[in-house]
Amino acid sequence: MAGEQEPGEIDDASEGGPVKTFLEHLEDFRWVLVKSIVALGLGMLICLIGANYVVQIIKWPLMNAPVVRTGDQQVVSVNFGSHHLTSFELAPAQAKQFNLGTNSFVAVEVEPLTVGTNQVLGWHVTNDKAAISDMRRMQVELVNLSPAGGFVVAFQVAIYGGALLAAPFVFYFIASFVFPALRMHEQKHVFRALIIGCGLFLTGVSFCYFILMPLALAAAQMYSNWLGLGAFQWRAEDYISFVCKFMLGMGLGFELPVVLLTLVKIDVLRYATLAKARRYMIVINLILGAVLTTPEPITQLVMFVPLQLLYEFSVWVAWYWDQPDRAKARRKLLLALLIILLVAGLIGAGFAHGWPLIRQHWR
């Protein structure tokens, strides 16, 4: 009859999709797994074919990482024609003896000279901007130390690159499986969270790739030098694993506000719960910084600080949503933001003016 409900339909469209049996759900989940594995396999195959290009992309933060020097040694780059011979540091007494100028980085050109009947090599200071620019960046060589090292690197590149390429399709397959079980207002919030989450994930990866990663690599080399260890050659597989895990962790960390605020919107979490969990999130973020980065404190802190700030941002937004008087809450948030910016500015100004004095005192 026209007024009767057909099998599989529900009384209220806002209550979700059609009701299915357990075996039907299991069949749908099986197809989600199959399609996800196929997408991952295709992504890995593409990255394996273009592994050399992917490696060059991964090497970009290393090639653009700045050199951090704590001493007052003058760095000299020696070139012969178009060939770079070597780079070395001069102690203050040696720099005064050679009198190469007051610049921290100096390029020297070696050329043959004729003195009577003899051929000798002479040198003169040049304004080679390319050589000086190279000295300002880290000079670290990625090497393979085993016959199978190249295959290990290619496999790593295929895994990380394939996962990145397949991620949008896997998320789509999972969403198509989960969405029918959600109510209409829940679907709206989750769909909005997926779009914003993808944008934040890419923002986190880009922030790590272009800003944090070069600084973290420079800090890692500086820490090795402080320990009295050379840091001019790194194993390629260790570097690729470190960079990919760091970027993946930062990308997922940037999605933390979306996950928490979506749970707040659908009444799974509340502001009071997030506020009480702050101490636990500090420990969790420190653990993530230790697991997803190298086992040294500098890069752990570099990753911990943004993750904790994102959690604090989520707590503040949840507090704002929980306030009955939004206008008053907005004024309090603006005042707190101004105080934080003022404190950060004072700390930055103090560091900028105090650090040269500290270095001068150490000398």
pLDDT digits (tens, 9 = 90+) for 129-156: 777 777 777 778 899 988 888 999 999 9
Residue 360 pLDDT exceeds 70 = no
Neighbours of 72 (CB within 10 A): 13
Long-range contacts of the stretch 321-327 (C-beta < 8 A, 24+) = 321/264, 321/271, 322/270, 322/271
Among 307, 310, 299, CA closest to 215: 299
Whether 241 and 156 have beta carbons less than 8 Å apart is answered as yes
Outline where DSSP puts E strands in the chain: 74-80, 83-90, 105-115, 118-126, 141-143, 233-235
Its pTM surpasses 0.85:
no
Q: Beta strand pairing status for 105-115 and 141-143?
A: unpaired
Among 255, 247, 238, 231, CA closest to 292: 247
Neighbours of 263 (CB within 10 A): 18
List phi, psi (to 5°) of 294. -70, 155
DSSP-derived letter for residue 209 is: I
Q: What is the mean pLDDT of residues 306-314?
A: 89
* AA identity, residue 295: P
Confidence of residue 66 (pLDDT cuts 50, 70, 90): confident
Q: What is the mean pLDDT of residues 88-100?
A: 78
Whether 275 and 316 have beta carbons less than 8 Å apart is answered as no
Confidence of residue 359 (pLDDT cuts 50, 70, 90): very low
Mean pLDDT of the chain: 81
Class of residue 321 by CB neighbours under 10 A (exposed 0-12, middle 13-18, buried 19+): middle
Residue 12 pLDDT exceeds 50 = no
- Cβ neighbors of 254 (< 8 A, separation 6 or more) are 200, 201, 203, 204, 207, 306, 310
Strand order in the sheet with 118-126: 83-90, 74-80, 105-115, 118-126
Q: What is the pLDDT of residue 252?
A: 82
Neighbours of 268 (CB within 10 A): 10
Class of residue 240 by CB neighbours under 10 A (exposed 0-12, middle 13-18, buried 19+): buried
Task: Name the residue with tokens 């506020």.
Answer: 275
Measured distance CA(181)–CA(19) in Å, rounded: 9
**Which H or E run contains 135?**
helix 129-135
Measured CA to CA in angstroms, residue 182 lies from 111, 160, 164, 196 at distances of 76, 32, 27, 19
Measured CA to CA in angstroms, residue 7 lies from 19, 60, 175, 184 at distances of 9, 58, 24, 21
Rg of the Cα trace of the chain? 28
Confidence of residue 262 (pLDDT cuts 50, 70, 90): confident
